[in-house]
Amino acid sequence: MKKIKTLIYQKISSFLLFNISQPRISPLSDYNKLVKHLEVCDVILVEGRSRAARAISVITRSIWTHSALYIGNFEQLAKDIQELVLEYNPKLGSGPLIIESNIGEGVVIKSLNIYSSDHLRICRPRNISKIQKNIIINYALSELGLPYDNQQVFDLARFFCPWWILPRKWHSSLFNHNAQNPTKLTCSLLIATAFIKAKFPILPLLEKTTDGKLKVHTRNPRLFVPSDFDYSPFFEIIKYPITGLEDFKS
């Protein structure tokens, strides 16, 4: 039975990860400039091209369908982190590195170069301290190898099925809190939890008390989606367009 479930999961994952659109003929982002100016703990948003990305885009009403955490250029990492990276994947001995949670892979370290042809955006935490950065990176590294949340995979697959042929209990619970699966992560859950542990706000809930003061509540990290980092007032949006304004003046 377990083998059958694994096979079904693999088939659904392959279906969702299939790219249904090609990279832009002329990219909007200058990847080389972007890489040169990255800082540790930048959140990188990706405009995905897969079926899963299409579903997330419709549900969240945003083009940003994936998020990754920049942990630094390999050559600039602390020696113990370099050793961890090489132990994880000996081929990652150079260049810009990210940690992300992917369908079919779980939490992984990868080269940012895999997104060199995609539309990217940098969300940079404002006035973040070195201590907070260390907490964020150490937490993300500690989650390496954890599986992706299978429930979200099935929820995304249901998005492509006519709703009327599904039993009500099968209807999407994509953003429902699942307390029984705290050890399975999605891309935004991984990063949101890291920032929450460092006590760095993303989109906190504000409550006005009877004495007129504001009380800050931390949102459930499972409710975050990639575009929340774009909307957050605590993150600076960094863009490196492929062309400058001077090109339009000639």
Instruction: Please work out, in degrees rounded to the nearest 5, the angle formed at the alpha carbon of residue 85 by the alpha carbons of 81 and 88.
Output: 135
Q: What percent of the chain has pLDDT over 90?
A: 48
Q: Compute the mean pLDDT over every residue in the chain, rounded to the nearest whole number.
A: 83
Please check whether residue 198 is in contact with residue 132, taking contact to mean a CB–CB distance below 8 angstroms.
yes
So what's the pLDDT on residue 2? 67
| 50-62 tens-digit pLDDT | 888 888 888 888 9
- How far from the centroid of its chain's Cα atoms is residue 123's Cα? 11
Q: Tell me the pTM.
A: 0.82
Q: What is the CATH number of the domain that holds 71?
A: 3.90.1720.10
So what's the pLDDT on residue 230? 95
Neighbours of 229 (CB within 10 A): 28
| 102-151 tens-digit pLDDT | 888 899 999 999 999 899 999 999 999 999 999 999 999 999 998 877 66
| 185-219 tens-digit pLDDT | 578 899 999 999 999 999 988 888 888 788 888 88
So what's the pLDDT on residue 183? 41
Contacts of 232 (CB under 8 A, 6+ apart): 123, 201, 202, 203
Count of structural domains within the chain = 1
Domain of residue 149, residue span: 2-248
Q: Which residue has the higher pLDDT, 60 or 167?
A: 60
- The closest alpha carbon to 68, from 89, 99, 47, belongs to 99
Can you tell me the distance from the alpha carbon of 196 to that of 188, in angstroms, rounded to the nearest whole number? Answer: 12
Q: Which residue has the higher pLDDT, 245 or 80?
A: 80
